[in-house]
Amino acid sequence: MKTFLLNILLSALWVAITGGFSAKNFLVGYILAFMILWFVQGTGEATPYFDKVRAILFFFFFFIWELIKANFRLALDILTPAHRMEPGVIAIPLDVETDAEIVLLSTLITLTPGTLSLHVSRDRKMLFIHAMYIDDPDRFRESVKSGFEHRILELFR
């Protein structure tokens, strides 16, 4: 958190010195300041900030990739006469615990085409999702757990 504020401060300094008050210039300053802070990180106290930023970036690209992949699969099924899908409702045991993590996980699952979260059990141990492409129930469960859930845990802890 402290490193993040320092990063913002340094980017504001960059904006002030270069005199260009635009979002683009702020972004340039942010990246420069991030690189400088990353370079000198060994000298100060240890901070999870750099791992967090990396996790957020990876998460973002991972999500975009999943979105594109699933959309093409869905498009193929909509545009061709035969139904290739094997839909079903699957229960996924949850490792995420807090409200924010569960909301994020179920929202992401619903946003990915082909999967739809239906219900979270009262004790918050199970998430029931409807999925359109289940080749193998156990493998599907594993792919959600090691994909979205693993990354969300990385992000929040």
Q: Does 82 bind other proteins (CB under 8 A)?
A: no
The letter for the amino acid at 108 is L
What's the min distance (Å) between Cβ of 21 and other proteins? 11
What is d(CA 33, CA 1) in angstroms, rounded to the nearest whole number? Answer: 15
Q: Which of 86, 95, 97, 142 touches other proteins by CB under 8 A?
A: 86
- Is 118 a residue that touches other proteins (CB under 8 A)? yes
Stretch touching other proteins by CB under 8 A, among 35-43, 48-56, 78-86, 149-157:
78-86
CA distance 66 to 113: 9
Neighbours of 134 (CB within 10 A): 19
Nearer to other proteins, 52 or 130 (CB): 130
Nearest to 115 by CA among 89, 94, 96, 93: 89
CB of 126 to other proteins, least distance (A): 7
